[in-house]
């Protein structure tokens, strides 16, 4: 098509509307892929931090279990002393005091052990949720990148059908983010 101008004819290249849409779609899909990849990296860091916290809590839990076993052995020792030294009243008073101390410490450690176990299990569940978010973001980044590449391929090959198929991976990425 020629445009009438002041004394000269300029040729204007005809533009098809879908090509502009394909360019915009490619740009948006690649930006979405970059955002999803960034989210995947962030969730990966969060999952690693939750995993370290879980390991620390399980280590604390196992230390409490070992300390609890030591208290049990001490309690058993003084229970045996009470049976062996039943005639000596001074030893009996000392043994009764020690047994009372061991019982108090045992109940405190038992409560701490249960709380530690619950905290470690909660940290493990939190880490698993964050790892799931990481997987979703990685899959979404791949699918958005595929959408961008299909749109760019449609631009390069002038195939409108390819551009019309490009939103399918984007829809799959949104489905992954929302429902999986």
pLDDT higher than 90, residue 166 = no
The answer to whether residues 74 and 102 touch, using CB atoms and an 8 Å cutoff, is: yes
Q: How big is the chain, counted in residues?
A: 180
Domain membership flag for residue 158: yes
Run of H or E including 69: helix 17-84
pLDDT at 4: 56
Does residue 117 form part of some domain? yes
> Phi and psi dihedrals of 13, rounded to 5?
-75, 130
In a domain, residue 101? The reply is yes
Residue 124, C-beta contacts closer than 8 angstroms, at least 6 positions apart:
54
pTM reported for the whole predicted model:
0.69
Closest of 43, 49, 45 to residue 138, by C-alpha: 43
Considering the domain boundaries, does residue 10 fall inside one? no
Above 90 in pLDDT, residue 130?
A: yes
Q: Are 90 and 56 in contact (CB under 8 A)?
A: no
Q: Residue 54's pLDDT is what?
A: 94
So what's the pLDDT on residue 9?
A: 54
pLDDT in tens, 2-28: 555 555 555 555 567 777 778 888 899
Look at residue 77 and tell me if it is in a domain. yes
Comparing 74 with 18, the larger pLDDT belongs to 74
**Distance from C-alpha of 162 to C-alpha of 153, rounded to nearest angstrom:** 7
Q: 133 and 74 in contact (C-beta within 8 Å)?
A: no
pLDDT per residue over 30-73, tens digit each?
A: 999 999 999 999 999 999 999 999 999 999 999 999 999 988 88
Whether residue 2 lies inside any domain: the answer is no
Cα–chain-centroid distance for residue 56?
17
Domain span including residue 124: 18-179
Q: Who has greater pLDDT, 95 or 147?
A: 147
Q: Please give the tally of structural domains in the chain.
A: 1
Whether 8 is covered by a domain: the verdict is no
In a domain, residue 4? The reply is no
């Amino acid at each position: 098509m020629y445009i009438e101008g002041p004394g000269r004819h300029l040729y204007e290249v005809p533009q098809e509307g879908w090509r502009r849409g394909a360019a915009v779609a490619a740009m948006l899909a690649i930006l979405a892929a970059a955002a999803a990849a960034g989210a995947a990296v962030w969730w990966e860091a969060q999952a690693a931090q939750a995993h370290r916290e879980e390991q620390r809590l399980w280590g604390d839990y196992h230390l409490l279990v070992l300390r609890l076993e030591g208290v049990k052995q001490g309690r058993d020792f003084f229970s045996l002393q009470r049976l062996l030294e039943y005639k000596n009243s001074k030893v009996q008073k000392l043994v009764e005091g020690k047994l009372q101390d061991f019982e108090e410490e045992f109940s405190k450690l038992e409560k701490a052990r249960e709380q530690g176990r619950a905290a470690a299990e909660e940290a493990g569940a939190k880490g698993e949720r964050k790892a799931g978010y990481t997987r979703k973001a990685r899959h979404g980044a791949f699918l958005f990148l595929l959408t961008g590449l299909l749109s760019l391929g449609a631009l390069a090959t002038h195939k409108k059908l390819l551009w019309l198929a490009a939103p399918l991976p984007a829809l799959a990425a949104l489905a992954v983010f929302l429902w999986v």
